Structures are given as C-alpha cells and as structure tokens.
Chains A and B, each alone.
Chain A
C-alpha cells in the first residue's frame, strides 16, 4: 500500500523558515517524480515544486522560486521542502504527491499545515 506521510508544519512568524518532510513507502520511490502541492484556505490546490526521480531537475511556482528548495533522499525514500522568507501568502496545507504522469498525481499524503502569522 502506497503511503505518503508529511511532517514539519506548524506556526511560524513572517520571515521565518520551516522544513517539511515526506516519508514514502509502498512503491519504488527512486523511480518517480515527486511534488509538493499546497492548498490555502478556501482556495484550490497549487503546485509548489517538483523534482525528478534522481533529484536532478527541479521546478518551482514563480512566487516561491528563490525562497523554497525541494530535495529528496532516495536511499531513505524521503522528500523535503525547505521554506525560507515565509509570508502570510504561504499559509496552507502542504501535500506530498507522487507523479503518475505529466503532473497528474496518483497518491497524496494527508498534508501538513503551515501557518505564517505573528
């Protein structure tokens, strides 16, 4: 059974940093592109970042490029999102998602809530 379990969310002050983690199991993690998708309150989901299967090319939403860094550890079947210079607009539930094909996600985690507030 595929499982994706996110952790690392919480309350952070504007300008602060957080590191999200996603533990994957039930599939050959190193074979798949992985992504972070967020959903702000009362809004639709938004793809934040994606990374190819071997940790090579990475892609970012324009509004987070330069502030967020996606990475992975294939030996540990883990995905990460380093978030810096956080602002209120980054408040959302952040989901780890497995890419089936062409940014269509066949498995998601339950998400971890990030709240940016003073």
Chain B
C-alpha cells in the first residue's frame, strides 16, 4: 500500500486560514471515512487532531476542521497561530485492512 500524498511544506501568516491536502486512491480515502490528521511537534508525542474525516477529539480547537472529496482529504486551520507550526500527517484505513499514512506536511507560521 503506497503512502498518501501530502505537500512537503505549507506556510501562512498569523490569523490566516490554510488548507493541507492529502491525496489517496479508491483503495483508501476514496472508500473509507476513517481518515485522521495528526499534529507532531518534533520530540513530542503526535496528537490526534481529526478522526473519521471531520470529527474533533475532546480538547481540540474548533479552528481545526477536516473534510473529504473523492480520493482527497483536507485539513483546514483557521486563525493560524504560532503554536500551530508543526508537522501534520494524514492517515486512512485501506482495503488491505491496514492504515496508511502520508509523508507529512511541514507547516510554517510566518
């Protein structure tokens, strides 16, 4: 199962909204709504930000939202803040019954 495709880097200014994309295939994102997004500050534990395409776990800011269209999932961060600077990874359940992750997007807050 190939990894999901994410842009290597994205940047934005404080207060802006940005959208991170995650492209898969009909064997993963296109078939399942078990798509997640993780935030990872290097050296810390990865943090679940979105699950089941668009659900936020308890304690996650409303500024983070998820969606899906066809084989592509998206994570939108509104009102960008300095603390949002991190690596973001998407994942999806697959027809091989094993989750696949994306290669990650480094978000820089200018």
Inter-chain contacts of B103 with A (CB < 8 A): 43-44
Contact with A along B69-87 (1 / 0, CB 8 A): 0000000000000000000
Complex CA gap A43/B6 in Å reads: 12
B34-71 residues with Cβ-Cβ distance < 8 A to A are: 34, 36, 38, 43-48, 51-52, 57
Whether the Cβ atoms of A104 and B46 lie closer than 8 Å is no
Q: Determine the main DSSP class of B at the interface with A.
A: loop
B16 to chain A, nearest CB (A): 25
Of A43, A45, A61, A104, the residue contacting B98 (CB under 8 A) is A61
A1 to chain B, nearest CB (A): 11
> Given contacts A104-B34, A104-B51, are A44 and B89 in contact (CB under 8 A)?
yes
Whether the Cβ atoms of B45 and A45 lie closer than 8 Å is no
Q: Determine the main DSSP class of A at the interface with B.
A: strand
> Given contacts A44-B3, A59-B97, A101-B34, are A109 and B45 in contact (CB under 8 A)?
yes
Whether the Cβ atoms of B52 and A104 lie closer than 8 Å is yes
Whether the Cβ atoms of A106 and B48 lie closer than 8 Å is yes
B side interface size, CB within 8 A: 27
Which residue of B has the minimal Cβ distance to A103?
B99
> Given contacts A44-B3, A100-B48, are A106 and B98 in contact (CB under 8 A)?
no
Q: How many A-B pairs fall under 8 Å by CB?
A: 65
Residues of A within 8 A of B (CB): 4, 43-47, 59, 61, 95, 100-111
User: 17 new A-B pairs (CB below 8 Å) besides A4-B45, A105-B38?
Assistant: A43-B103, A44-B3, A44-B6, A44-B103, A44-B104, A45-B38, A47-B98, A47-B100, A95-B46, A102-B99, A103-B99, A104-B34, A104-B36, A106-B51, A106-B57, A108-B47, A110-B45
Can you pick out 25 interface pairs between chain A and chain B where the beta carbons lie within 8 Å of each other? A43-B103, A44-B4, A44-B89, A44-B102, A44-B103, A45-B38, A45-B101, A47-B99, A47-B101, A95-B46, A100-B48, A100-B51, A101-B51, A102-B32, A102-B34, A103-B98, A103-B99, A104-B99, A105-B36, A106-B57, A107-B45, A108-B46, A110-B43, A110-B44, A111-B45
